[in-house]
Structure 1
């Protein structure tokens, strides 16, 4: 039956809470980056400051959209709303745009190496992908609606 919500398993709720906490950490990180720039992650090198200063004007707003849509998507999962899927799509797309730009249009990997430059972005993209998968599973199984 369309529109009927089924009881969600405990692991789903635990995953949604974990995603919400991750999103809130992302919001904090975003605010810190907007406030402190390159120094948001600790002592920045001259390279870090130059890289941050050279980011296009759309980069920080894209970061804001990524963390807000991911966080709101996690809250939507907890609220068992179908909006979770659309928000997860937006979050994943903006993450791909941000890191795609960083790796394709800068010399970050050449300067810092693949392991240092790509490690955290891979984790972020994997979590965003996992959130999208979870929201789609929730919709298919009637946990949201």
Structure 2
């Protein structure tokens, strides 16, 4: 067994980790809102949106789920200062890239959120790696 000294992270790390947790939890709510949409709710959407939701491939829905749930778990890992947060955040990032690729290049629905989601995912993975190297995570 090795003795590893865990350094206390600065307050900004906890603040960013909590913001990341909220950001990813909002993604979970967005996923649940989409996946739990009833036929009645779908019928109230414009025709183009109804067609889009009806034709989303299952891999896209799976990537959406993995991106937001892994992002939330990884962000929670940052809050509780666990090294495994990095690996979970990488999984989230890969799923988000697949999801955003489909939105931007197949559905041609890119907006400012598309690159922002990728940038935030990359920043969180970098933060987890940085915090591990600094000895803030156990």
Quote the residue 1:18 is aligned against: 19
Q: Deviations over 1:16-70 (max 9, x none)?
A: 0101111111111110010127x68xx6322222122111112112111111110
Q: State the shift of 1:2 in Å.
A: 7.1
Q: Work out the CA distance in 2 between the residues paired with 1:8 and 1:31.
A: 33
The aligned residue for residue 30 of structure 1 is 31
What TM-score do the two structures reach when normalised by structure 2? 0.88
Extract unaligned runs of 5+ from structure 1: 110-116
The structure where helix makes up a greater share of residues is: 1
Closer, same or farther: CA 132–47 of 1 in aligned 2, 3 Å? same
Alignment map for 1:53-68 (pairs within 5 Å): 53-68=54-69
CA distance in 1, matches of 2:7, 2:137: 8
Q: How many residues align?
A: 135
Structure 2 residue ranges without an equivalent (≥5)? none
Output the CA distance in 2 between the equivalents of 1:24 and 1:139.
23
Tell me, in whole angstroms, the C-alpha distance in 2 between the residues paired with 1:68 and 1:35: 16
Deviation string 1:82-117 (CA, Å, 9 cap, x unpaired) is 0110011011100000111222223x24xxxxxxx3
* Structure 1 range deviating more: 44-53 or 57-66: 44-53
Structure 1 segments, 4+ long, off by >3 Å, are none
* TM-score between the two structures when normalised by the length of structure 1: 0.84
